[in-house]
Amino acid sequence: MSTRDDILPEAEMAGPRVHFLSYQSAEQWAWAGAVVLAGELRRALEQRPRARLLLSGGSTPGPVYRALARAPLDWDRIDVALVDERWLQPDDPDSNSHLVRTTLLQDKAESARFETLTRPGRSIEQAVAAANLHASQVPDAVVLGMGDDGHTASLFPGLRGLEQLLASPNAYVPVDAAGCPGAGPWPRRISLTPAGLAPSRMRLLLIRGEHKRRLFEQAMDGDDPVELPIRMAFTTPGTRLRVHWCA
């Protein structure tokens, strides 16, 4: 297993809103993500009866979740929930729930309490209302991803009503991303908003590849999340965004 010293970043760029760390290999990147999340959860459990972790889906974060599942934490005091979900049932292989179940909720983390966003028999409005009730518990850590189009959570560039969704006072909103190529075959979704991200005690963005590095640098040159929704990760007031990148 890697030690803390093996996973020091190759380069760092720290500003007031973003701390960007580059890792030399995918293995170091995965372990570094797990170490930082485990540290945050451990601190939270020292101070409060329960800790809360919000996770994204997509093709990038799986190795970090698998590494985190091996962390010796008091997992039965940890609530795991989602940043966003495609309007699919939790056992659908394309759902973010399925990703979290098959990567994180294994090994030591099997005993964590997992809140899916969708559930059989629940309408999208009921699912969003339930998510907003749970959101009264402040997240200790939020893991975000970024799509090749600059979306984060399920807030896509060009999404109808994006400005209103970004300004919503609610932590979760229903999304109809019809016409947004980044949403792939799943236009109906539920997404975290800036209001849901703001109170989190830690924000971690997991990205890989040259294209995403350049896109993130471009995002940092501006402030408007309507143009590039990933900007909400660092323009939303609250804690500084930590970015973990590797090629």
Ligand X SMILES: O=C(O)[C@H](O)[C@@H](O)[C@H](O)[C@H](O)COP(=O)(O)O
Q: Is the CB of residue 199 less than 8 Å from the CB of residue 136?
A: no
In the complex, minimum distance from the CB of residue 15 to ligand X, in angstroms, rounded to a whole number: 23
Given the complex with ligand X, which of 75 and 156 has the nearer CB atom? 156
Question: How many residues lie near ligand X (CB under 6 A)?
Answer: 15
Given the complex with ligand X, which of 52 and 189 has the nearer CB atom? 189
Given the complex with ligand X, which of 47 and 59 has the nearer CB atom? 59
In the complex, minimum distance from the CB of residue 76 to ligand X, in angstroms, rounded to a whole number: 26
Burial class (CB in 10 A: 0-12, 13-18, 19+), 49: exposed
- Alpha carbon distance 181, 89 (integer Å): 22
Applying CB under 6 A, the span of 44-52, 64-72, 151-159, 239-247 interacting with ligand X comes to 151-159
Q: Which tokens hold the place of 169?
A: 């006072």
Beta-strand pair 113-114/188-192:
unpaired
Q: Is 153 in the site for ligand X (CB under 6 A)?
A: yes
- Alpha carbon distance 223, 230 (integer Å): 10
Q: Which of residues 67-86 bind ligand X (CB under 6 A)?
A: 83-84, 86
In the complex, minimum distance from the CB of residue 74 to ligand X, in angstroms, rounded to a whole number: 27
Given the complex with ligand X, which of 153 and 228 has the nearer CB atom? 153
90, 147, 150, 157: which one binds ligand X (CB under 6 A): 147
Q: Which of residues 41-60 bind ligand X (CB under 6 A)?
A: 56-60
Per-residue x/- track, 83-112, ligand X (CB under 6 A):
xx-x---------x----------------
Name residue 80's beta-bridge partners: 53, 114
In the complex, minimum distance from the CB of residue 45 to ligand X, in angstroms, rounded to a whole number: 25
Q: For binding to ligand X (CB under 6 A), which residues are involved?
A: 56-60, 83-84, 86, 96, 145-147, 152-154
